[in-house]
């Protein structure tokens, strides 16, 4: 791309299929150039020092040295912008304390990776307080209290939130279910209003996760999510849900 500085990327993951998938996703991002792949923590440190990439995409559970040890091993040298990747939600707070610009929850798609790459290219992460009670309006992250600990999630990774009496159940895009110590009403006020909509007294959905809406008797609608779940849109919320879906880009 003429006139555009190429952004270099190094990936580290011990799973060949995971590296292959990242390569395939990066192939769709022409302004980013892959300069190396590492399969364990020690190799990641060595390659980061050799290539000095703009961005490093590191799986958290690398053999030898995990991603946090890799970052410590780099010392005070100039670090790349770091995107951490994992299949688990419970390392998010630690990831952000380590200075990661983003935290990708497997499996992720091209859109989610693109968002992380653009965030990494934009510069260092602003400071955050995971123990706070509000989500940032600018970066799409939300801090949630679950099982006695704080979890920092990217709102794009949340597919559905269900009512559980005075608490809630959050379900991620890869099917992980987490109890959340807030009511559905409280979360409705904190989740980004441009992407989440309440469909009934019992559920909030991510509009990006919706694949179909089917009319039912008595004015209700059946809503199907990409993850396979089907939910009822109540008559009270039907007009708002259809309006919001029609306005999606």
**Contact between residue 234 and residue 244 where contact means Cβ atoms under 8 Å apart:** no
d(C-alpha 9, C-alpha 32), whole Å: 7
Q: Is the bond leading into 107 cis (omega within 30 degrees of zero)?
A: yes
Q: What average pLDDT score do residues 237-243 get? A: 87
9: confidence class by pLDDT, cuts 50, 70, 90: very high
d(C-alpha 185, C-alpha 188), whole Å: 5
pLDDT per residue as tens digits for the range 147-164 = 777 777 788 889 999 998
Of the two residues 200 and 175, the one the predictor is more confident about is 200
Q: What is the pLDDT of residue 193?
A: 83
Q: Which residues pair with 144 in a beta bridge?
A: 151
Q: What is the pLDDT of residue 63?
A: 94
Q: Tokens standing for 191?
A: 């989740």
d(C-alpha 144, C-alpha 245), whole Å: 26
Instruction: Give the three-state DSSP class for 225.
Output: strand
> Percent of the chain at pLDDT above 70?
86
pLDDT per residue as tens digits for the range 70-93 = 988 887 666 889 999 987 766 766
This prediction's pTM: 0.58
- Helical ranges in 86-181 per DSSP H: 92-97, 110-122
């Amino acid at each position: 791309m003429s006139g555009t500085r190429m952004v270099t990327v190094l990936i580290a993951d011990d799973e060949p299929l995971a590296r292959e998938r990242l390569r395939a996703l990066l192939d769709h991002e022409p302004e980013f150039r892959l300069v190396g792949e590492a399969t364990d923590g020690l190799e990641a440190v060595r390659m980061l020092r050799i290539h000095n990439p703009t961005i490093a995409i590191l799986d958290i559970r690398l053999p030898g040295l995990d991603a946090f040890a890799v970052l410590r091993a780099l010392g005070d040298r100039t670090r790349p912008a770091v995107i951490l990747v994992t299949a688990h939600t419970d390392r998010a707070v630690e990831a952000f304390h380590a200075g990661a610009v983003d935290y990708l929850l497997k499996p992720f798609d091209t859109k989610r990776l693109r968002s992380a790459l653009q965030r990494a290219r934009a510069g260092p992460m602003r400071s955050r307080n995971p123990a706070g009670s509000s989500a940032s309006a600018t970066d799409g992250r939300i801090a949630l209290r679950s099982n006695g600990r704080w979890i920092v999630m990217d709102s794009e990774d949340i597919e559905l939130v269900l009512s559980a009496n005075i608490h809630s159940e959050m379900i991620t895009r890869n099917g992980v279910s987490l109890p959340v110590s807030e009511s559905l009403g409280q979360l409705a006020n904190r989740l980004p209003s441009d992407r989440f909509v309440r469909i009934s007294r019992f559920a909030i959905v991510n509009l990006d996760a919706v694949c179909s809406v089917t009319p039912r008797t008595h004015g209700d609608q059946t809503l199907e999510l990409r993850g396979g779940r089907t939910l009822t849109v109540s008559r009270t919320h039907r007009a708002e849900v259809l309006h919001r879906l029609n306005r999606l880009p």
